[in-house]
């Protein structure tokens, strides 16, 4: 981006990456589960038969709704299908213990999740209206077997409209400068954020078992459950908390907060009945778990040691696939109440053999009396002798201060869901520096933000020109949520009418280079605001950067393009990784650590395997074959291509490139992989 820039302040360092916010505009969710006021209250519930199967064909006459022992007339009724539950062959396949991804690919996974669920669509930055379910997973069991089951659940059950977060019940104790353990920090950092990106979720499941090996930890189950509920309270969609582990402790506040936030709690107790416990109380599952689940409309599922949690997760996702919404107008009069009132709710299913599960309680907030506009302000009356003209006049209401530039950008940057008022393409590319004096490479990320020129609005400026101011904020966050680098700039753009019209056919590009201290997971976030229209665009990406100094093959980010001289199809933007069916897509990346034995050293012997994924497995692939590696100065560049099938439907896909170092004697070190999202566009639309 070349227009003159005015530097803004760096993003506040105190902003933690976990501080995700709701809609910056404060809009209400379109499909909010519970809306409570004195005019209409709504209760969400699920109904099952004697075998635990969900029932979705009931009518209003099949229910009896009672509030505070008083029957209520059901005035609003609907069955809300969030997502169809798995059925047929898919339901049977989900019972398999190996990950379906492993079954399809047949290769050892370096990361168990590819960044896309092979049964649904790839990862995407979801808009608010696209979110169907918000699921917070809180793990009190950080063992590898538990994480494997959580990963399988994420791989195969989380759908394209799901946003998930993972957090541990543990908190890290960090020593200060004099060695005393005084700092208590969340153990998950960027990993506990809600996302649809399974690469980030997968990295979280790999991270959890390691946290308390690296640090001394304390266990805070109640605090983390309350924080997970708080993170859900202002978000759209069907909201659930999945607690994996065992909890013995107070539950009143947890239940109250969950019911206020419309959060259903599921407890997957993977200890179940402990037969070798020292005391009888240790042998029995705590009643607090049952209360948490039952009082919020969820379920508690017990297991014995070593139980495969997959069955429990399957039941949870089926439970969250749909629900009934019963609305009523309360007959009780709360107009004189001064504080919110908690009501006892009961729902009975009149059809024999069926059971309803619902949250036991709603908060009713009465309408407060409207102040008399003509009443004088006591303070104004008190100082009537000083300000005689003000005596007897109501105090002028202070208009709300509109949010400033910094506040708008910050909220957009940390929002759970993305905005597309200004469409942007966020492309963070990572690689490594040239070897230094100690022959060590340092990672860095080159972040590119492309801004769609069609979405910019220009106002008339001096000299017959068109102008606007474009705010751009980009931030890179470390694993613990601290900031690795950021930029916050305002660009003033002045163009002729002809230039403004031409810009609508192309895009602006902003880039930011951030050197990094170490390999590992990072998150990149970007927000763009057009000051003329007020429209905002935002996006985020997760990076897992390998250690380029290890003695094994590693790859940088992939860069996609069309063959030189090949024009792009109509509506396809190759720089946004958009291609038409039938296009040959070339990829390039830097390769590190490939073995070159001998004196003089032999050239690297690398084979590549390429696959394009969407629902149901690979839709296009190139079997392992020798690859071309070119030396460009200090860099070794790996090139290849994949042709998109002519009959491939438009939509989002994910490309995987697997590189094998055939001169590496250890099979465990032979493979490296990278993933990149690809959009197939229909050139006729």
pLDDT, tens digit (0-9, with 9 covering 90-100), for 422-448: 999 999 999 998 887 777 899 999 999
- Percent of the residues in the chain that have a pLDDT greater than 70, as a whole number: 75
Top-level CATH class of 550-685? Answer: mainly beta
The overall pTM is greater than 0.75: yes
Q: Locate the domains of the chain by residue range.
A: 1-27+404-546, 41-82+328-364, 89-320, 550-685
| H helix intervals, 443-532 | 497-503
CA 525, chain centre distance (Å): 12
Do 550-685 and 1-27+404-546 fall under one CATH topology? no
| Cβ contact 244:276 at 8 Å | no
The CATH number of the structural domain formed by 89-320 is 3.40.50.410
Which carries the bigger pLDDT value, residue 391 or residue 595? 595
Average pLDDT across the chain, whole number: 78
Helix residue ranges per DSSP H, 158-243 = 198-207, 211-214, 221-232
Contact 440, 433 (CB under 8 A): no
Look at residue 150 in the predicted model and tell me its pLDDT: 85
* pLDDT for the residue 32: 35
Task: Please name the residues in contact with 233: beta carbons below 8 A apart, sequence gap of 6 or more.
Answer: 257, 260, 261, 262, 263
CATH class of 1-27+404-546: mainly beta
pLDDT of residue 272: 67
8 Å CB contact between 521 and 546: no
Name the β-bridge partners of 467: 459, 494
Listed ranges 151-160, 313-322, 436-445, 513-522; the one with the highest mean pLDDT: 513-522
Q: Write down the pLDDT at residue 235.
A: 87
Q: Which of 460, 576, 597, 571 is nearest to 509 (CA)?
A: 576
What is the rounded CA–CA span in Å between residue 534 and residue 644? 38
The predicted pLDDT at position 458 comes to 93
pLDDT at 580: 94
User: Distance (Å, rounded) from C-alpha 685 to C-alpha 683?
Assistant: 6
Return the minimum-mean-pLDDT range out of 72-76, 198-202, 649-653: 198-202
- Whether residue 615 is predicted with pLDDT greater than 80 in this model: the reply is no
CA–CA–CA angle 184, 191, 575 (5° rounding)? 140
pLDDT tens across 549-567, in order?
988 999 999 999 999 999 9
């Amino acid at each position: 981006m070349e227009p003159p820039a005015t530097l803004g302040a760096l993003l506040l360092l105190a902003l933690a990456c976990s501080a995700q916010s709701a809609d910056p505009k404060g809009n209400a969710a379109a499909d909010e589960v519970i809306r409570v006021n004195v005019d209409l209250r709504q209760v969400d519930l699920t109904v099952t038969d004697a075998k635990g199967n969900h029932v979705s064909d009931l009518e209003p006459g099949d229910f009896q709704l009672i509030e505070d022992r008083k029957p209520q007339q059901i005035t609003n009724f609907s069955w809300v299908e969030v997502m169809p539950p798995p059925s047929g062959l898919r339901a049977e396949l989900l019972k398999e213990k190996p990950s379906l991804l492993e079954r399809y690919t047949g290769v050892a996974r370096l990361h168990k999740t590819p960044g896309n669920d092979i049964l649904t669509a790839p990862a995407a930055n979801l808009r608010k209206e696209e979110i169907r379910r918000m699921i917070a997973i809180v793990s009190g069991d950080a063992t590898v077997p538990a994480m494997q089951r959580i990963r399988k659940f994420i791989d195969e059950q989380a759908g394209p409209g799901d946003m998930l977060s993972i957090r541990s019940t543990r908190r890290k104790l960090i020593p200060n400068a004099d060695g005393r353990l005084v700092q208590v920090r969340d153990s998950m950092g960027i990993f506990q954020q809600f996302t649809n990106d399974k690469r980030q979720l997968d990295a979280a499941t790999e991270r959890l078992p390691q946290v308390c090996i690296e640090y001394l930890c304390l266990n805070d189950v109640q605090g983390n459950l309350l924080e997970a509920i708080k993170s859900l309270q202002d978000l759209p969609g069907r909201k659930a908390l999945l607690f994996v582990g065992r909890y013995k402790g107070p539950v009143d506040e947890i239940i109250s907060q969950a019911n206020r936030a419309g959060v259903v709690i599921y407890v997957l107790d993977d200890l179940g009945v402990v037969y070798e416990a020292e005391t009888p109380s240790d042998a029995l599952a705590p009643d607090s778990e049952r209360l948490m689940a039952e009082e919020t409309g969820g379920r508690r599922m017990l297991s014995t040691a070593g139980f495969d949690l997959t069955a429990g997760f399957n039941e949870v996702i089926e439970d969250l696939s749909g629900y009934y919404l019963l609305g009523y107008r309360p007959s009780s009069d709360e107009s004189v109440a001064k504080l919110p009132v908690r009501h006892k709710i009961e729902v009975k299913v009149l059809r024999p053999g069926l059971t309803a599960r619902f949250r036991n309680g709603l908060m009713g907030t009465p309408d407060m009396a409207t102040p008399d506009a003509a009443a004088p302000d006591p303070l104004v009356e008190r100082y009537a002798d000083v300000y005689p003209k003000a005596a007897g006049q109501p105090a002028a209401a202070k208009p709300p201060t509109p949010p400033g530039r910094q506040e708008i950008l910050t909220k957009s940057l940390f929002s759970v869901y993305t905005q597309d008022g200004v469409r942007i393409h966020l492309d963070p590319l990572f690689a490594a520096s040239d070897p230094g004096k100690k022959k060590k490479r340092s990672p860095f990320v080159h972040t590119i933000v492309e801004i769609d020129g069609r979405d910019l609005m220009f106002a008339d400026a001096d000299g017959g020109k068109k102008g606007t101011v474009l705010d751009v904020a980009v931030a890179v966050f470390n694993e613990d949520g601290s900031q690795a680098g950021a930029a916050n700039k305002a660009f003033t753009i002045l163009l002729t009418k002809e230039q403004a019209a031409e810009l609508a056919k192309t895009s602006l590009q902003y880039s930011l280079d951030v050197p990094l201290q170490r390999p590992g997971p990072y998150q990149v976030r970007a927000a763009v605001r057009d000051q003329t229209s007020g429209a905002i665009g935002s996006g985020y990406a997760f990076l897992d950067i390998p250690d380029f100094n290890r003695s094994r093959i590693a790859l940088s980010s992939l860069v996609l393009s069309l063959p030189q001289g090949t024009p792009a199809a109509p509506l396809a933007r190759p720089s946004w990784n958009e291609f038409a069916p039938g296009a040959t897509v070339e990829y390039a990346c830097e390769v590190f650590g490939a073995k070159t034995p001998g004196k003089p050293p032999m050239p690297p012997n690398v084979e590549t395997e390429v696959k394009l994924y969407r629902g149901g497995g690979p839709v296009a692939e190139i079997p392992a074959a020798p690859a071309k590696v070119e030396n460009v100065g200090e860099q070794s560049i790996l090139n290849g291509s994949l042709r998109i099938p002519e009959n491939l439907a438009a939509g989002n896909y994910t490309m995987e490139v697997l590189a094998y170092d055939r001169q590496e004697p250890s099979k465990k070190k032979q493979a490296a992989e990278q993933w990149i999202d690809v959009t197939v566009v229909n050139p006729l639309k």
